[in-house]
Structure 1
């Protein structure tokens, strides 16, 4: 029988789960745990300047790697700051662990300094949400929290009074372990047979692929090629389905392409492959549909599917490939031609010379310096639409706040990407509004020597909101934002900053940034034009 501090058992279990870094900010209700971390070399503590950054980075790390991201905070204000990043993890269905400090166990319930009802606050966001009552519970509850985060694909919150970490506990026979079995779900034969009948009858099938296609890319492409179906990728699936595949029509919706929108309306069969695409207006008016997903709760959630298939996408789609007959190519060839015309129009936009730098010019230049295994951390706003349309990903990884669509996610995502993949190129694409929401943590990238290139699309306004206001028939109001010299900010933080007001300056800045061993901000002044016009 061994007797150690509860906090040391937590460290050992985190290592067993493969955790090698934690995002957080020290404070008085996690100081005992910080002491245990100080003595541990295998788990790196990443000191962020705002807990929201830590939670968003943990979420991005999980999206990129499939492994659990871990963040921590003090009680009260620190816990409140975690919420945005945890909701991002919840909405994008990725496992995150938040270790949240609480006031002393002898003070809980007395309304003492910084005490909040933390369980109540996290109840909506967390798939696991528990307060530890005694030090003896802590190791087993930690295992439960992490296992639930993986199983339920969401954030687990473990609330611990700091004094409990310092208590010594005896561990002889642990109640739980760090083992987690990843389920392999085989689709029901009857459902597959019914889906095969729909595929056989269809003359204009369209595949809408989501992030659930990760790991099944080859199977999905083989199926699409067999049944001669256009492929449309959701934004989180951009890069999973290569943009240069001739059957890939691009994205769908507000940020999508004309060919994808037209093909979807003409389809006589919709195949939803690893996605629960929510925008009903962009889906067929009245076409039969097959939806394949490992999560039963999303089958038919946003579209009245004819056949729901619960199972892993790869085996299910491979089975369909073996059963399907070769189809006529007229429908596919029609939309491959439309795709060719659309891509030519996009290229013309990128090639045209204008006095002022335009957003598509920035993406054209990024394309030139982007490596084949680069990680692109994309922010939310008009930059999302520009990137979806103009940047071509084929093998690169994209991380974005997809469902919550929170501005300010790109810098945390870039930090997480560089920690996950130190040898890969990391590029952040950010609007000036999104960057200014969390730019203080650029100094975190500098502190931990995380070379990255952050390209700020600076039009000095919240441009997408301006367009939305005008679409409603209202005058645009309060969308202008005061200009910040982002290049000077980068230098002040110890990084490198460049200002680009034309294409030549941008080319030079990107070339220098690619060779730099420091974090770089490129402040790209772009023309104020809407991507939706």
Structure 2
């Protein structure tokens, strides 16, 4: 076997794992790997302006596709910048690989320029976290890292001194391969039968479903129709049951609906399907509960469930849908009627004529131009609440930072979405606070010709924090932010920008953005309206 560089084996390994994109920025402790990337065409290198964007985009890419997202950085400051995106992947349980450069291997431990203790720094966030000691290890450690990321649904970090990438090695006997088999876990029959008994005995069951039920949406609806149970979805699961479906009461909690809150309080059985809903204050005090989850560690973690069922959602929910008894629909009808009242109230709010744009009106206008195959990337802040309440999805891919809830995730999610689904329209909904945290990477979308629509809800403040301060009885403080002409910024980056202060201007801007072949920012000035 001919001598080849360890870095070339890494490229081959990434190809074998079907990696098509890698987010990063070159630098002196990763340049030898960048040289290997330069020599090939199969893996597209996306040069971002900030490593946090790269890690958040890798996480979003994984959430949208189910395939591993890959990012890279130099040692020291670049590695530090990755942490936020890697924690997002860890909290939202999605596989990501971070290839992190390190100082020359002969200088590791000498406290040289930009050296940090990378393994110590990534210890809490990574499901796999190793420093490569010599070049011969690199190909097999890459396979171990990616396999662990898939198996444990989280970020794997491979720290590599840059000189090791250019070291020539012979690989006569491979220790590992890129083969990965995802387990399929069928729930235990006894647990399903016991769950069936609890469901048959209940008169007012309610289903709270999360993103873990994404692949079982048909079974979930069949089950709901069989037992006449309202469905409440966590925000990451929004759209897996169409928001327009009469059984769907919306979300729960601070960003939820009144019918959802009342149904949960009224229920005599709570069925948690693919969710570890963490907000205990919004759940019943002592209602019996069944929890189905692929992860046994998640069962009973945030609510004292009566019965836990570990396994895949599709066979579990499917079995229950076939084997439980048909129920009376009086409980369900009660909340379908309440849902209709709630929807009429929301419609009244979006239809009212106001001098200044209101956030719910912006969502309503966006709703008009969303297509069935569009992708929505949602940032964090009051915009999250407006989208949860007013945006109606019916299976469109939808991505956000749910457990970490980091502001600034909208644009990286949009970049990832356009790379994952280049033929689809991508719509980013962001507040001015969230967008301005990482807006420099709008230039990245322009550079790589990734047309997308970014709607900025501009009220010159961190609205959600102001609302929280006020609700706590404090005087709102330090929440105002300086206005930026985001439309002019977009044009300066080489994209398109439109400003909207009225509903008519917004309609015109969205129509132009929909047809544009460039990334577009719609700077929508909105009235100061509390989101709580």
TM class, shorter-chain normalised? Answer: over 0.9
SS at match of 2:438: helix
The answer as to whether partners of 1:58 and 1:71 remain within 8 angstroms in 2 is yes
Give the 5 Å matches for 1:73-112: 73-112=73-112
Partner of 1:184: 184
Alignment TM-score, normalising by the size of structure 2: 1.00
Partner of 1:310: 310
Q: CA deviation at 1:437?
A: 0.2
Partner of 1:297: 297
Partner of 1:159: 159
Partner of 2:510: 510
The C-alpha deviation readout for 1:150-187, integer Å capped at 9, x for no partner, is 00000000000000000011012200000110100011
Q: Quick one: distance in 1 between partners of 2:80 and 2:133? A: 21
Partner of 2:399: 399
Partner of 1:201: 201
The answer as to whether partners of 2:103 and 2:115 remain within 8 angstroms in 1 is yes
The answer as to whether partners of 1:2 and 1:172 remain within 8 angstroms in 2 is no
SS at match of 2:41: coil
The C-alpha deviation readout for 1:476-512, integer Å capped at 9, x for no partner, is 1110000000000000000000000000000000000
Q: Quick one: distance in 1 between partners of 2:456 and 2:150? A: 34
Q: Quick one: distance in 2 between partners of 1:473 and 1:261? A: 24
Q: Quick one: distance in 1 between partners of 2:306 and 2:260? A: 22
Q: CA deviation at 1:239?
A: 1.1
Partner of 2:470: 470
Partner of 2:447: 447
- Structure 1 position 63 matched with structure 2 position 66: no
Q: Quick one: distance in 1 between partners of 2:205 and 2:485? A: 50
Q: Quick one: distance in 2 between partners of 1:11 and 1:240? A: 36
Q: Quick one: distance in 2 between partners of 1:321 and 1:366? A: 36
- Structure 1 position 263 matched with structure 2 position 257: no
The answer as to whether partners of 1:11 and 1:37 remain within 8 angstroms in 2 is yes
Q: Quick one: distance in 1 between partners of 2:242 and 2:512? A: 28
Q: Quick one: distance in 2 between partners of 1:127 and 1:521? A: 37
- Structure 1 position 223 matched with structure 2 position 223: yes
The answer as to whether partners of 1:24 and 1:47 remain within 8 angstroms in 2 is yes
Q: Quick one: distance in 1 between partners of 2:349 and 2:493? A: 35
The C-alpha deviation readout for 1:332-383, integer Å capped at 9, x for no partner, is 0000000011011101111111000000010000000101011110000000
Partner of 2:171: 171
The answer as to whether partners of 1:367 and 1:391 remain within 8 angstroms in 2 is yes
Gaps of 5+ in 2: none
Partner of 1:496: 496
Partner of 2:141: 141
SS at match of 1:174: coil
Give the 5 Å matches for 1:511-526: 511-526=511-526
The C-alpha deviation readout for 1:206-232, integer Å capped at 9, x for no partner, is 000000011111011111110000000
The answer as to whether partners of 2:463 and 2:531 remain within 8 angstroms in 1 is no
Partner of 1:212: 212
Give the 5 Å matches for 1:18-29: 18-29=18-29
Q: Quick one: distance in 2 between partners of 1:375 and 1:240? A: 13
Q: Quick one: distance in 2 between partners of 1:484 and 1:399? A: 26
Partner of 2:427: 427
Q: CA deviation at 1:2?
A: 3.4
Q: Quick one: distance in 1 between partners of 2:19 and 2:318? A: 34
Q: Quick one: distance in 1 between partners of 2:214 and 2:267? A: 24
Partner of 2:253: 253
The answer as to whether partners of 1:202 and 1:268 remain within 8 angstroms in 2 is yes
Partner of 2:377: 377
Q: CA deviation at 1:143?
A: 0.2
SS at match of 1:337: helix
Q: Quick one: distance in 2 between partners of 1:151 and 1:242? A: 30
The answer as to whether partners of 1:75 and 1:115 remain within 8 angstroms in 2 is yes
Partner of 2:284: 284
SS at match of 2:215: coil
The answer as to whether partners of 1:429 and 1:454 remain within 8 angstroms in 2 is yes
SS at match of 1:171: coil
- Structure 1 position 530 matched with structure 2 position 521: no
The C-alpha deviation readout for 1:442-481, integer Å capped at 9, x for no partner, is 0000000000000000000001101111111111111000
- Structure 1 position 5 matched with structure 2 position 5: yes
Give the 5 Å matches for 1:321-336: 321-336=321-336
In the TM superposition, structure 1's runs of 4+ consecutive aligned residues that sit over 2 Å from their partners are none
The C-alpha deviation readout for 1:214-268, integer Å capped at 9, x for no partner, is 1111011111110000000000000112101110000000000000000000000
Q: CA deviation at 1:119?
A: 0.4
Partner of 2:479: 479
Gaps of 5+ in 1: none
The answer as to whether partners of 1:230 and 1:247 remain within 8 angstroms in 2 is yes
Q: Quick one: distance in 1 between partners of 2:395 and 2:321? A: 23
Q: CA deviation at 1:398?
A: 1.0
The answer as to whether partners of 1:240 and 1:397 remain within 8 angstroms in 2 is no
Q: Quick one: distance in 2 between partners of 1:422 and 1:240? A: 22
Partner of 2:354: 354
SS at match of 1:119: helix
Q: CA deviation at 1:515?
A: 0.3
Q: CA deviation at 1:406?
A: 0.2
Q: CA deviation at 1:64?
A: 0.3
Partner of 1:387: 387
